Amino acid sequence: MAFQDFDKIQERVNANRKRKFRKRIIVGTVSLLVVVAAIIGGAFAYVAFEKQNEQEPKNNHKNDAKDSQKKSQSASPTPKAPVAAAQSVKPGQADKIIETLCSTTLYKVSCENTLKNRTEKGFAVESPTTFLKAAIEAVNEDLDRVLEKVLSLKTENQDDKDAIAQCKLLVEDAKEEIVASLNKVNGTEINNFVKIVPDLDNWLSAVMSYQETCIDGFEEGNLKSEVKKTVNSSQVLTSNSLALIKSFDANISPVEKVATRHLLDQIPSWVTNEDRRMLRAVDVETLNPNATVAKDGSGNFTTINDALKAMPEKYEGRYIIYVKQGVYDESVTVDKKKANLTMVGDGSQKTIVTGNKSHAKKIRTFLTATFVAQGEGFMAQSMGFRNTAGPDEHQAVAIRVQSDRSVFLNCRFEGFQDTLYAYTHRQYYRSCVIVGTVDFIFGDAAAIFQNCNIFIRKGLSGQKNTVSAQGRVDKFQTTGFVIHKCKITANEDLKPVKAEYKSYLGRPWKNYSRTIVMESTIEDVIDPIGWLRWEETDFAIDTLYYAEYKNKGPSGDTASRVTWPGFKVINKEEALNYTVGPFLQGDWINALGSPVKLGLYDA
C-alpha cells in the first residue's frame, strides 16, 4: 500500500486505555461498514453536521540554525465510506464515522469539528472522498489566511523582510501542492483511491515542510512567535489531513503488498524506458543532448544558467543538458517550470558546479545552496556539486533538492556543514559520494541513499560530526532518510586525527526525525553509541524513529547503541518497509533506467 508511515505509535497510556482505544476503533469501523452498504457501484450520501468552530493551538519548530522546538497541528475533516444510493445518513451514524476516522489523528477534537463544520445536512455526494476533499480544502483556505497575515507584517529589519518574502514563496508552494491534492481527489473514483495515496502523502508531507521552513526563516523573537502562531492552525489541518488519508486508505482501499517486491535490481517505475536507456548511455553520441555546455566554447553555451534559460518551459519528453568537464562557479536553480530535465557531466570530479554562500555571510541556510533542483523529475548523472565555504562558516549547502521523483546517479556532493539538503518529496541517490561534517545530509524528503560512499571530513576543533539531521515534524508524514548498502567512513583529511573528533550517524533536527541505516558498512569513525542528542537535551528521543538492520564494519555492532525509546534494531520484515519499492514506490526509478535495488541485499 504505497507510502506508509511504519512507525510504532508510542502511546503514553496504560494497557487498559490501549485496549479501550482498539475496541473503539473496531466498533467505529464496524459502524462505518454497516453505513456503507454499497462500496462499488452506487451513489453515496453526505453526512449532516452542526456548524461549530474550534481550533487546537500547538507548535514545534526550530530556527535556521536548526534549534529544536515542538510541533503542532489544527483541525481537519475526515473521509467517510460510501452509502447506498438514495439513502441519507442519520446524524448519529455520521458522528460515529467521523469519530472513527478522526480517532487516530493527533488533534481528534479539531478533526471532528472541522469535518462537521464543513458538511451540510442531506447533501448527496458521488464519493466518500468528499470528506477527504473537505479536509484538504480547509488547509487551502487557512493558507490564504496565513499568506494575508504574513504579508501584513511590518518591520524595518532587513533580515525580517527577507524572511517574510521567503515565507510568502513557501506558502505559495504549499498552496500549489494543496491544489494538486484536491485535483487528484476530485478526479479519482473510490475504488482507485489506493493509487493516489502515494501522491497525496507526498504532497501533503511537503506542505508540512514548507510551513516549517517559513517559521525557521525568522530569528528568535516576537515576530517569529507571531508567525509561528499564525501558521499553527494550517499545520494542524495538514497533520490531520495526512492522518485521515491513512485512516481512509485503511478502511476503504485494498492492500498492496509492495514490501515483498524485493528481488529485482530495477529502478522505480516512474522512470520511462526511454529515460532508462538515456541513463545507461555512457558517451555523448549515444546521449544525444538537447544542449551542450562547455567553458571552452565548444558547446552551445558556456554556462549552465544560459542553457537553462534556453530550455522550453513546456518541453515534451525529457530534456537533456550535457555539461562538459570544467568547474562552473555559478548559482543554479532548476525551477518548477523545467520538469523532466537531465544533466549529465563528464564525471563527478570533472564537471563541478561550485559556490561559497554560507550562513556566516548572513545568508539563510535555505538560500546558501550552490545548486537548487525544483522541477519535477530532475535527474543528474556524473556531476559534482560543491560549496567551498569552510567549516568556520557553518551552514553552507552544496545542493537543495525539492524535485519530486528525482534521481542522482554517480554524483558527488561536497561541503562541510549541511552539504546536501534533501528538502522535500521523493528522492533517490545511487552510487554517489557525499562529503561533510555536521548534519551534512539533512532535510525532510523521503530519500534513499543506495550504494553510496559517505565521507566524514575534518571540521572545527572539538566539533562533533553528524552524518544526518532528518527533519520530519509530524508522525503522519511519509518522509525519512534510508541509508542502504552504503559505506560510512573517514575522509582522508580526518583519518590521521579521527580520534580527536566524535562522529555519529545522526541527530534529531525535528520531533519525528526518521533515519534508517541498513546493510551498510560503518567504519570506526562512528562512535559506538551511534546517535547524538540534539544539543545535549532529551529533545525527540521518544518520538524519533532511528533504526538499524544488519550493518557491518567496526562500528556496525549495535551492542553499545543509545537506549532511547525511539531507537530500534529492526528485523528483516520491518527493514523491507524501507526499501525502494514500498518507501519510494520505487517503480518510477525503473522507468528512468538508473540501476536500483528494490529490496534487501540479503534476501
Instruction: Note the pLDDT of residue 346.
Output: 96
Residue in the structure block whose three cell numbers are 483541525: 75
Read off the pLDDT of each residue in 238-243 and give the average, rounded to a whole number: 96
Given a cut of 90, whether residue 339 has pLDDT beyond it is yes
Residue of 192 and 484 predicted with greater confidence: 484
**Average per-residue pLDDT for the chain:** 82
Residue in the structure block whose three cell numbers are 523521503: 446
For the chain, give the percent of residues with pLDDT over 70.
76
Confidence of residue 102 (pLDDT cuts 50, 70, 90): confident
Read off the pLDDT of each residue in 197-211 and give the average, rounded to a whole number: 97
What is the spatial distance between Cα 183 and Cα 190, in angstroms, rounded to a whole number? 14
Read off the pLDDT of residues 542-564 as tens digits, 9 standing for 90 and up.
Answer: 999 999 999 999 999 999 999 99
* 428 neighbors 583 (Cβ within 8 angstroms): no
Instruction: Note the pLDDT of residue 87.
Output: 40
Which residue in 551, 509, 504 sits closest to 534, CA to CA? 509
Confidence of residue 104 (pLDDT cuts 50, 70, 90): confident
Instruction: Note the pLDDT of residue 37.
Output: 32
* 64 neighbors 367 (Cβ within 8 angstroms): no
Instruction: Note the pLDDT of residue 274.
Output: 62
Confidence of residue 596 (pLDDT cuts 50, 70, 90): confident
Given a cut of 90, whether residue 117 has pLDDT beyond it is no
Domain coordinates in residue numbering, the chain: 91-250, 272-590
Instruction: Note the pLDDT of residue 338.
Output: 95
413-435 core/surface letters (b: 16 or more CB in 10 A; e: else): bbbbbbbbbbbbbbbbbbbbbbb
Kindly state the cell numbers that stand for 561.
547503541
DSSP for 430-498 reads: ES-EEEESEEEEEES-EEEEES-EEEE---STTPPEEEEEE---STT---EEEEES-EEEE-TTTGGGG
Read off the pLDDT of each residue in 555-579 and give the average, rounded to a whole number: 97
Tell me which CATH code domain 91-250 carries.
1.20.140.40
Q: In what order do the strands lie in the sheet with 446-450?
A: 291-293, 319-323, 341-345, 379-381, 406-409, 426-430, 446-450, 480-484, 514-518, 545-549, 567-569
Residue of 227 and 54 predicted with greater confidence: 227
What is the spatial distance between Cα 202 and Cα 149, in angstroms, rounded to a whole number? 27
* 140 neighbors 132 (Cβ within 8 angstroms): no
Given a cut of 60, whether residue 279 has pLDDT beyond it is no
Kindly state the cell numbers that stand for 61.
519548530
Read off the pLDDT of each residue in 26-31 and give the average, rounded to a whole number: 41
Q: Which of 260-274, 339-353, 373-387 has the weakest average pLDDT?
A: 260-274
Kindly state the cell numbers that stand for 228.
509561528
Instruction: Note the pLDDT of residue 241.
Output: 96
What is the spatial distance between Cα 425 and Cα 406, in angstroms, rounded to a whole number? 9
Instruction: Note the pLDDT of residue 278.
Output: 55
Read off the pLDDT of each residue in 458-485 and give the average, rounded to a whole number: 97
Confidence of residue 6 (pLDDT cuts 50, 70, 90): very low
What is the spatial distance between Cα 504 and Cα 525, in angstroms, rounded to a whole number? 8
Residue numbers annotated as active site: 439
Instruction: Note the pLDDT of residue 378.
Output: 97
For the chain, give the percent of residues with pLDDT over 90.
66
Has this prediction a pTM greater than 0.75?
Answer: yes
Confidence of residue 53 (pLDDT cuts 50, 70, 90): very low
Fold for domain 272-590? Answer: Pectate Lyase C-like (2.160.20)
